[in-house]
Structure 1
Amino acid sequence: MCRVSRELSNFIRRDVLTGRAKFGISDDGKELYQVAMARAIARGDWRADYYRGHTLLLALGLIKVEDVLAQLYADAAADGFSRGRQMVGHHSTPTIDETGAWVNQLDSLNVSSGTSPTAGQMARGLGLALASKLYRTDSSIPSEGFSRDGDEIVWSEIGDASTSEGVFWETMNAAGVMNVPLVVTVVDDGYGISVPKELQTTKGSISEAMAGLKVDGTGSGIDIYKVKGWDYPALMDLYPKVAERARETHRAALVHVSELTQPNGHSTSGSHERYKSKERLTWEKEWDCLEQFRHWLIATEVADAGQLAELDKAAKKAVKESRKNAWDTFVGRLSAERDALLKLLPTNGQSNAAYERCREDLMGLEVPLLSEVVDACRRLRLAIGADNLPQPITQWLRDAQRRLSEQVGSDLYSDTEQSPLRVPTVPAVIDEDAKPVPGYQVLQDFFRAKLKQYPNMFAFGEDVGQIGDVNQGFAGLQEEFGKHRVFDTGIREWTILGQAMGMAMRGMRPIAEIQYLDYIFYAMSVLADDIATLRWRSAGTQSAPAIIRTRGHRLEGIWHSGSYLASLVSTCRGMHICVPRNMVQATGMYNTLLQGDDPALVVEVLNGYRLREQQPTNYADFTVPLGVPECLREGTDLTILTYGACVRVCLEAAELLEEQGIEAEVIDVQTLLPFDLEQRIVNQHLKNTNRLLIVDEDAPGGTSAFLSQQILEVHGGYQYLDAPVKTLTGAAHRPGYADEGDYASKPQVMDVVEAAIDLALF
C-alpha cells in the first residue's frame, strides 16, 4: 500500500505539471505513519482531516486510486468527496443520505470534509471528540447509529508549521481542560512550505514547546508522544497504545511524528530544491520513510530486494492503469457532451461561418470541459443572434447551463424534507390578558421546554453554565439539567463554534453562544470556511445543523454594540441569519431551526432582555418562518424596511410621522438569509407606497446595500419607485461610548423621521 500511495503521489504531481490538473498536494514522504495509524482505527472513529491523507484511506479500503484522481481532475460525476468542488486531498465520507437522514456512523471511519485553511480542522475535531465524551457521560442521549458508549476517537493531523496557528493551541488547551478523545498527529517534515520550523516553533519542536500541557500525576493534561516517521516498528507499536489509552481515559493526545520528508516538495506550486540545501536534500533521500522501510523489510527478512522490486513494479503498473481508467472515463464523459452539441450544428448548406467557427472551436478542445463547450455555444448565439439560434441548440444550451450550475452550486442549503424552510408555520397564540414578562424570562421558559423536549440539545459558551449567560437566558437551567447539558467554556470563540460543528455532525443539537456579536469575528474562519460551507463542499453528503446564538445592536461602546452584519451576510452563505426584533420572535425562530437541518446564526437584541413582552401561550411550539418579512404597521406614503433593534426606533418614528400627515408602513425583515423568499416587500408593499427607506445599524454600504440589491435587482422593485431608495445606517466609525456616542453613531428616532419626510417630499 505504501508503494501504491507513493506512485499515486508521483502521478498527481506529473498530471499537474503536464496540464491535466490544476493543483496537486499529496502524501509522498508521509505514508508510513498512516499505515500504522490504520491499524489503530476502529469503526465509528472520526477523522478531522487536513489536505493530505489518501494513504490512510487506501490502507483502510475506504477508497480506490481512481477516487483520488477523480478529485484531482475535478470530475464531478466521479468525485465522491466533493463533486469536483474541492482540490485533491480534501476527503470526506457521507454522514447523511440523499433524503437528509443520518447514515449509520458506526460502520467505518467517518471522515469530516477537509478544508484548506491551515489548522482549520482543529476546532471541528474538538467538537467531534466532545460528542464522544457526552455520549459516554449521559446514556439518555439518543446514540443509535452515532456512538458506542463514547468509545469513538477523533483522529486529526496537522502539518508541523500549522501548529503556529492560534487555533491549534486553543484546541489543545481546550482538549486538555475538557478531557476528550482527540488524537492529534503533528506531521513534521521540518518546513512550512519554505520556512523551516526553527522560524515557526519555539525550541524547533512542537512536542517540547507543548511540554507544559503534558499530563501530570493528577491526570490533568494531555498525553504527548514523539516518534520518528521512518521507524516502522516504533510506529506500529505506538499508535495502538495511543488509541487504547484515548478510548479508555478520554484523554487527548499529541503524537509528534518527526524526521519526515517531502520528496516532491510541499505541493505542485513550487520546487523544494529552491529553498533546501544540498545536505538536506541528500538527507531526505536517505531517510525517506519508504527507503528506511525497505531496509527494515530486508534486514528482518520479511522480504528480499527482488520481491520488493516486484512490488514496486506492480504498484506502478496498478496506479498507471487506474490513472488511465480515471482519465479515460472523465474525458469520455466530456466528449459525449460535446458530441451531442456537434450533432445539433447545421450542415449541408445550412451552416455559415459562425457555425463552422463554433465547430472548429469545439473540435479543437483536447479536454472538452462542459464550461468550455457551453461558452462556445454562447459565443455562437452572440454571433448569429439569439432569435436565429435553432431551438434544439437553444434547448441544449439551457439544459447544459442548468446542469453546470447544479454541478457546482447545488446543496448550499438543505432541500430535504427536514429543511427549516419547510417547517410548518405555527402562529403565536397570545392571551391579551397575559402579564408582560422580561425578555430574559421568555428565553428561560423557552430553553427549559426545549431541553426537556430534546435530550440531544446542549447549550454552552462563556458564562452560559453557572450564571445562565450574562443576560440570564439560561439562568437556573444548569442546575436543572446538569453540567453536561448547559455548561461554561473558556474565552475561545473559535473552538466554541468548533464544538458546535462537531457535535452537530454527530447527531446532537448544540446551541453555542458567542457572548457579543463583536466577538464572533474571532471565530470567522470556522464559521465562514467550515460550518457555512460543509453541506455545499461535500455535495450534500454532510451537514452540521448547529445554532449559533449571539447578541448585538445597541448597548454601550465599541465592542458591545455590534451590528456589522454585512461581512456575515457575504461570507456565511450556507447558514441562515436571523435578526429577531425581540425575544418572543427569537424563540419562534429557534423553534423553526431546531426542527430543521441547516446551521444558523441568531442575533438577539442586546438591549431587549429587560424589556417586557407578552409571552405566547404556545411558546414551546410556535414558529417564525424564515425568509418571510412581517409588516408591523401599515402605511401608504412610504415603506420603512428594518430589522433587529431598529424596529422599535422605526415604529416610534412612524407615530411621529403620522402626526405630520405621513403614513409610513414599517416592515421587519426578520431574516437576512434567506431574504423575503416570496418577494412580499415588492409585491405587497412597494407597489403601493412607491418609496423605500432602509434603516439599519450596519456601516454605510453594508447590510443596507445587500437589502437594496435584493429588492431592486433580484425582485425587480425598481420599476415601482417614484423616488430613489434611501438608506439610513450607522456611522462609518465604530459606535461611541455612552448616550452621546450612541446618539451620534446609530440611527435615532428623529433621524428616521427626517429621512422619511425628505423621501416623502421627493
Structure 2
Amino acid sequence: MGKAKFGIFGDGKELAQIAMAKVFQNGDFRSGYYRDQTFMFAIGQLTIQEYFAQLYAHTDVTADPSSAGRLMNGHFATRLLDENGDWKDLTKEKHSSSDVSPTASQMPRLVGLAYASKLYREVPALKKVKGFSVNGNEVAFGTIGNASTSEGMFYEAINAAGVLQVPMLVSVWDDEYGISVPKEYHTTKGNISAVLDGFKRDKKHAGYEIFTVNGWDYEALIDTYEKAAAISREEHVPTLVHVQQLTQPQGHSTSGSHERYKSKERLQWEAEYDCNIQFRKWILSEGLADAEELDGIEAEAKKSAKEAKEAAWKAFNGSLKIDFDAALAAIEEVANNTNKNTDELNSIKEELSKTVNPIKLDSYRAVKKALRALRTEQKSVKTPLTNWLKNADETYFDQYNSKLYSTSKNSALNVEVVDAIFDDGASQVDGREVLQACFDEALKRDPKVFAFGEDVGKIGDVNQAFAGLQEKHGVNRVTDTGIRECTIIGQGIGAALRGLRPIAEIQYLDYLLYAIQILSDDLASLQYRTKGGQKAPLIIRTRGHRLEGVWHSGSPMGMILHSLRGIYVLTPRNMTQAAGFYNTMLKSDDPALIIECLNGYRLKEQIPSNVGEFTVPLGKVEVLKEGTDVTIVTYGSMCRIVMDAADQLEKYGISCEVIDAQSLIPFDLNHDIVESVKKTNRLVVADEDVPGGASAFILQKVLEEQGAYKYLDSKPTTITAKEHRPAYSSDGDYFSKPNIEEVFDKVYDLIAEADPENYPDIY
C-alpha cells in the first residue's frame, strides 16, 4: 500500500530457519542479518505486529522492541536489559544480538558470543556468577548470505573460532546470488563449504564440523541442525551448515525485482523449488495433512498477517495523530488570538490539515512556520505554539537522539571519584608497573574480567603491563590471540554482551584501523540502535602517539573522534591516569577506548597505594601549570612537550596555563577551559593529529560549545603534526610531530602580535 519506505525480507529461506529454531534453546544467542524474520518468529521473539511496526518505524519500544523505530525492517534484537539498564537473567530466554546492515559484520561479534560460553565453562570462578550462563552450554548461532562470505571478516571470524574451539554454529543461506551478481563472481569453486574444507577437524587436528544440506529438504534440515547443534553445545566445537538451493522470490529488496537479472530457467527452477512449495509437497506425500487443510492454514496465515499489519499501522498512526491534532489546535488557538499574519497562519493550518498520512516532521515544520510568522508577536500570544514545540523537542529527542551512551546508575559519568593515595617515600617505578598492579587488582576483584590480545598472555604484552599475570590468574583470564584486530574487537563485543568484562588489546593505535569499521558500525551504535536494550561494556586498550616510524607513532584522533561516537575516548598522559581510567570504566557499563602513551612505559611514576580502587573521572580536565598569558590545551604524550615548552617560555616572561584534556569523549563537561580563556584571552590547541583533526574537534568544543570566542584577544592557534605519516628515526619524529621548539615559537608569536616591543621577532 506504499505506507512503508523500504522492505527487505527473508522469503525463500523459511524452512531452514524453522529447523534451526528447533534446536535454539534458552540462553542461546543469534548474531545474524536481515533475512531471519522466520527464525525470530519461530523462537517466539518477534510477533507479526512487531515486524510491521518496525517496517513503519514506530518509535514506541513496546511496539518495536528491536530498535524502537531506529533501524529499518529486518534488523532484529531482543532486550537484554530491563528498564533501568540492568541485566535480565539471560539464561531464561532466547536472545538475538542487534543486527547491523554492513554485510558480514555479524561475524566478529559471533566469535565473542561463543567465546563467552567457553569462559563460563572453563573458568572456575565464573561458576558462581548467576544469570548469564548454565555451565557454558549456550550456542552462538550465526547466519550469513553466501555472497557476504566473500568479506574478509567472515574468514577472520571462521579462523578465530576454529582456533578457539567455541560453540559457534554458522548457517550460510545460499541462494547463489548477491543482489544481481551470481556465485561465480563471489566464491572460489562457487561453493563456500568446498572452500572451507580445510577447516574440517580430523583425528590429529581440531577444527570444524561442516554440513551441507538443501534448503527445501525438511527432514534433512532437521537432522542436520540436530547434529550440528549437539556437537557445538556438548563438545564446544564450531560447526558450519551450508544451506544450498535456496531462493529469494522477492529479490534483494523492494528496490527492484530479481527478474531483471535471473534467467528464465533460474526463475522456473525457483518457482518449483521454493522451500514452502516443497514443504507442502512433503506434507502431502507423508499424509500429515490434506490439501484442504493446508489451504485453510495458508488462508488463516494471510488473514493473521493482514490483521497484524493493520493493527501495527493503526497503532503507528495513532501515535502520530496525538501530536498532529495538538499542532493544529495550537495554530488555530494562536490564530484566534492575534491580528498579525492571520491569513498566513490559517494557510499553514489548512496545508497541514490536508496532509495525507502526516508524520511528525509535517507537524513540526508547520509549528515552526507559524512561529516565524509570529516573530514580532508577544511571547504570551505564542505560548500554545512554544509549549507544543518544547514538548515535541523533548519527545523527539527521546525517540531519535537518546541512549547513545548509558544513562543507567552504572554510567561511567556516575562512577564515584576516588583520589589516588601515594604513601610517603614510595619508590618510583616504571609506568608499566603501575598498570601491572592495576590489572592484577582488577583480575583478583572480579572473575568476569579478562584480558586478551596479541602477545598479552605469555609475555604479558609487548610493554609488559600484564607480565606474570597469566601465570597468576590462568590462561583463560590473560590470553594471547592471533593477529586479527577485527575479531579481537568482535570477541570483546560478544563477550561483553553476555555479561563479561573484557579488556581487548589492540597492540598499536595504528592498527585500530583494521577494527574501526566494527567499532563504529557495531559497538559504538549498540546502545543507540537498541534504545538502551543492549550494552557491551568493552574496554579497548591500545597505545599510540609518538614513538618510531609510519606505523608505530600514529595519532589518528580526528578519525577516531568522528567515527566512534557512542564509545568514550580517553587519552591519559601517564600510566597512573590510565590506571584510574581503567578502574572507572570497570565500574561502569559503558564501552571505552583507552589510549596509553606509547613512549611512557619506562618513565618513572609512583604506584598509588589504592591502585585497584582510585578512579579518574571522565570529562574532567586537569590544569598542569597555572598561567595568565595563554591557555594551552593538549593531551597524551604532548603534555610533556608542552610543559617543557611552557617552562622555557616562562624564562621569557610568558606565563602559560597548560591544561590536560585527558578525556576527549566526553570533553570538559564542567567547561573549565573557557574559565581559563577568560583569564588569559588566548587559546592554543596542541596535539599530534593531522591539521584539522582532533584540534578542530577541540576548537569546536571550546569556541562554539563553551563560547570562548567571546573572550579571545588573538586568533585561536593550533599546533599539530604534519599532513603526512610520521617519518622514521628521532629526526623523522622531530620534523613530523610537534616539538618543543615549535610550541615555543607558536606561543611566542601569539604574544608578540599583541606586544611586539617586548617580544621582537626571533628569526
Alignment match, 2:405: 413
1:358 paired with 2:348, answer yes
CA RMSD of aligned residues (A): 1.1
Instruction: Provide TM-score, normalisation by structure 2.
Output: 0.96
Task: Please give the residue correspondences for 1:488-527 in structure 2 after superposition, counting only pairs within 5 Å.
Answer: 488-527=480-519
Alignment match, 1:702: 693
How far apart in 2 are the matches of 1:354 and 1:399? 24
Give the deviation of 1:615 after TM superposition. Answer: 2.0
Given that 2:371 and 2:382 are in contact with CA atoms closer than 8 Å, whether structure 1 keeps it comes out as no
SS of the equivalent of 2:722 reads coil
Residue by residue, what CA displacement relative to the aligned partner does 1:69-115 show, whole Å, maximum 9, x if unpaired? Answer: 10110010121111111000111111111212110101121110110
Alignment match, 1:711: 702
1:148 paired with 2:130, answer no
1:384 paired with 2:369, answer no
Match of 1:570 among 562, 567, 591: 562
How far apart in 2 are the matches of 1:233 and 1:80? 33
Give the deviation of 1:348 after TM superposition. Answer: 5.4
SS of the equivalent of 1:403 reads helix
Structure 1 residues 432 and 691: alpha-carbon distance in aligned structure 2, compared to 1, 3 A threshold:
farther
Given that 1:354 and 1:384 are in contact with CA atoms closer than 8 Å, whether structure 2 keeps it comes out as no
Moved more, 283-292 or 297-306: 297-306
Q: Please list every run of 5 or more consecutive structure 2 residues that lacks an aligned counterpart in the other structure.
A: 754-763
Alignment match, 2:425: 433
Alignment match, 1:750: 741
How far apart in 2 are the matches of 1:732 and 1:378? 44
Give the deviation of 1:341 after TM superposition. Answer: 1.6
Match of 1:94 among 79, 82, 90: 79
Q: Which amino acid aligns with 1:56?
A: F
How far apart in 2 are the matches of 1:202 and 1:610? 49
1:372 paired with 2:365, answer no
Give the deviation of 1:38 after TM superposition. Answer: 1.2
Residue by residue, what CA displacement relative to the aligned partner does 1:507-566 show, whole Å, maximum 9, x if unpaired? Answer: 111000000000000001111111111011000010000000000001100000010111
Q: Which amino acid aligns with 1:167?
A: M
Given that 1:554 and 1:645 are in contact with CA atoms closer than 8 Å, whether structure 2 keeps it comes out as yes
How far apart in 1 are the matches of 2:690 and 2:351? 48
Q: Which amino acid aligns with 1:672?
A: L
Match of 1:278 among 241, 260, 264: 264
How far apart in 2 are the matches of 1:222 and 1:24? 35
Give the deviation of 1:329 after TM superposition. Answer: 1.3
How far apart in 2 are the matches of 1:417 and 1:371? 33
How far apart in 2 are the matches of 1:45 and 1:114? 16
Residue by residue, what CA displacement relative to the aligned partner does 1:609-667 show, whole Å, maximum 9, x if unpaired? Answer: 00111222221111110000000000000011000000000000010000000000110
How far apart in 2 are the matches of 1:147 and 1:171? 23
Given that 2:432 and 2:601 are in contact with CA atoms closer than 8 Å, whether structure 1 keeps it comes out as yes
Alignment match, 2:658: 666
How far apart in 1 are the matches of 2:124 and 2:22? 29
1:302 paired with 2:305, answer no
Give the deviation of 1:451 after TM superposition. Answer: 0.7
Give the deviation of 1:304 after TM superposition. Answer: 1.4
Moved more, 120-129 or 304-313: 304-313
Give the deviation of 1:437 after TM superposition. Answer: 0.5
How far apart in 2 are the matches of 1:19 and 1:311? 27
Moved more, 89-98 or 386-395: 386-395
Match of 2:59 among 55, 76, 91: 76
How far apart in 1 are the matches of 2:68 and 2:357? 18
Give the deviation of 1:143 after TM superposition. Answer: 3.0
Q: Which amino acid aligns with 1:736?
A: A
How far apart in 1 are the matches of 2:376 and 2:620? 37
Alignment match, 1:36: 19
Where does structure 1 differ by over 4 angstroms across 4 or more consecutive aligned residues? 347-351, 386-389
Structure 1 residues 761 and 566: alpha-carbon distance in aligned structure 2, compared to 1, 3 A threshold:
same
SS of the equivalent of 1:586 reads helix
Alignment match, 2:721: 730
1:693 paired with 2:676, answer no
How far apart in 2 are the matches of 1:493 and 1:613? 30
Alignment match, 2:454: 462
Alignment match, 1:760: 751
Match of 1:479 among 461, 471, 480: 471
Residue by residue, what CA displacement relative to the aligned partner does 1:465-491 show, whole Å, maximum 9, x if unpaired? Answer: 000000001011101111000000000
Given that 2:11 and 2:35 are in contact with CA atoms closer than 8 Å, whether structure 1 keeps it comes out as no
How far apart in 1 are the matches of 2:176 and 2:580? 53
Alignment match, 2:314: 328
Alignment match, 2:604: 612
Q: Which amino acid aligns with 1:727?
A: T
How far apart in 1 are the matches of 2:612 and 2:15? 54
Q: Which amino acid aligns with 1:353?
A: D
Q: Please list every run of 5 or more consecutive structure 1 residues that lacks an aligned counterpart in the other structure.
A: 1-17
Number of residue pairs the alignment of both structures matches: 744
Given that 1:43 and 1:107 are in contact with CA atoms closer than 8 Å, whether structure 2 keeps it comes out as yes
How far apart in 2 are the matches of 1:643 and 1:110? 41
Given that 1:334 and 1:367 are in contact with CA atoms closer than 8 Å, whether structure 2 keeps it comes out as no
Alignment match, 1:122: 107
Residue by residue, what CA displacement relative to the aligned partner does 1:288-318 show, whole Å, maximum 9, x if unpaired? Answer: 0001111111111111111111111111111
Given that 1:434 and 1:614 are in contact with CA atoms closer than 8 Å, whether structure 2 keeps it comes out as yes
Give the deviation of 1:349 after TM superposition. Answer: 7.9
SS of the equivalent of 1:140 reads helix
